[in-house]
Structure 1
């Protein structure tokens, strides 16, 4: 299937698919006219990549999941490396949430002070 067909089947953009390919997460053959040609398995792989990106992993993180990207990635028992990466990502997200919450609280307090003095 061509890149546009894969994009339509997975909800990814052609640009994202080229990015995944450049990152080594998906592969394609080249037709004589230079067009990319993906096999049917790429649909599952791209959906899994998008799922892992949606939960906060990066493309670099996803490389450790390559052996299970062609199946139901959520039902496979994670390897120790996969768990380590997921825990690291979770810690990063927790730190970002804490920083944003602190900034929000400071802004709310400033707005309250400003409103009280107006």
Structure 2
């Protein structure tokens, strides 16, 4: 740590190394209110050690298909604890996300079938 960063905190680079997230992503999460940082006297961000679990959890939720706005609306118990399960308050949002993903999969399957038919017949089939 440099002498400007409090000893019980992490720089954005240290947080990035600890979580596998990019510095840019961490700054983005911080700007969207998903993390709490303080500014040191040199203007750099400083994060509490708890941010490691938060960043990992945020990345898990993004990988599940949630937007930063949706994640921000989740209760703290889901955003702050790495590996936290579903909360009753988030079940409906998760179901909606699953429905959206299933619609996307169905659409891709229809497109795949049309493309396979096009390749097999050499002609683009009419729309259903």
TM-score > 0.5 by shorter chain: yes
CA distance in 1, matches of 2:64, 2:48: 26
Once the two structures are superposed, residues 28-73 of structure 1 have per-residue CA deviations (whole angstroms, 9 ceiling, x without a partner) of 1111111110010000011010111111111111123241122244
DSSP-derived class of the 2:48 partner: coil
CA RMSD across the alignment:
1.6
Q: TM-score, normalised by structure 2?
A: 0.82
Tell me whether 1:38 sits opposite 2:47 in the alignment: yes
Uncovered stretches (5+) of structure 2, i.e. residues with no partner: 1-9, 124-128
Counting only pairs closer than 5 Å after superposition, residues 31-110 of structure 1 correspond to structure 2 as 31-68=40-77, 69-75=79-85, 78-80=87-89, 82-110=90-118
Q: TM-score, normalised by structure 1?
A: 0.88
1:111 aligns with 2:119: yes
Gaps of 5+ in 1: none
Tell me by how many angstroms 1:74 deviates: 2.8
Q: Report if the CA contact (8 A) 1:25-1:66 is conserved.
A: no
Tell me, yes or no, if structure 1 residue 27 matches structure 2 residue 36: yes
